């Protein structure tokens, strides 16, 4: 009987523990998971939060006393499926996400950053998700009342 030295014993243990060597039982490589076929894995994340109505462009311009360009610099549009991101999310300007509420979902993009640390949708986004909404009154910068409209929504990106 041949004895193994310390180095030989360590090598044999490493092979046994790590599965090195075929031992006649070489495992086949598994099939890639969905999304890995191209060698790129795309992780998805989602957050569920209250989506508030941001206000029409006319109301935003009046209440803010500016041209309502938005923090991303895209300019306000009542027909854009867009939203202002909350301050905690890592969403980037122009990033497209799926927004779902009331059994409906649409693709929307980040066009602004919320001043109030919440998700705020454009007129078109709330209309597309069947969320009732309306503007407040505005007589000039600092002289306004808020509008209404909110619902629980899931943002998937």
What are the tens digits of pLDDT across the range 71-107? 999 999 999 999 999 988 889 999 999 999 999 999 9
Residues 7, 12, 16, 18: is their CA dihedral positive or negative?
Answer: positive
pTM of structure: 0.72
Closest C-alpha among 148, 113, 107 to residue 125? 107
Whole-angstrom distance, CA of residue 49 vs CA of residue 115: 16
What are the tens digits of pLDDT across the range 21-63? 444 444 444 445 444 455 555 667 999 999 999 999 999 999 9
User: Residue 87 has what pLDDT?
Assistant: 85
Strand partners, 53: 121
Q: What is the DSSP track for 57-88? A: HHHHHHHHTS----TTSS---TTS-EEEEPSS
Closest C-alpha among 40, 53, 43 to residue 119? 53
- What the chain holds in terms of domains, given with CATH numbers, is 78-156 (2.40.40)
């Amino acid at each position: 009987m041949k004895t193994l030295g310390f180095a030989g014993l360590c090598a044999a243990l490493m092979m046994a523990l790590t599965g090195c060597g075929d031992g006649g039982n070489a495992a086949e490589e598994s099939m890639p998971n969905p999304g890995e076929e191209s060698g790129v894995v795309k992780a998805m994340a989602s957050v569920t939060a209250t989506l508030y109505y941001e206000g029409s462009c006319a109301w935003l311009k009046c209440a803010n006393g500016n041209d309502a360009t938005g923090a991303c610099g895209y300019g306000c549009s009542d027909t854009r499926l867009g939203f202002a991101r909350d301050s905690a999310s890592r969403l980037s300007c122009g990033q497209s996400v799926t927004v779902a509420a009331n059994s409906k979902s649409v693709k929307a993009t980040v066009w602004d950053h919320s001043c109030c640390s919440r998700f705020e949708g454009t007129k078109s986004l709330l209309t597309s998700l069947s969320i009732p909404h309306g503007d407040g009154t505005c007589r000039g910068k600092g002289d306004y009342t808020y509008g209404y409209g909110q619902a629980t929504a899931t943002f998937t990106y």
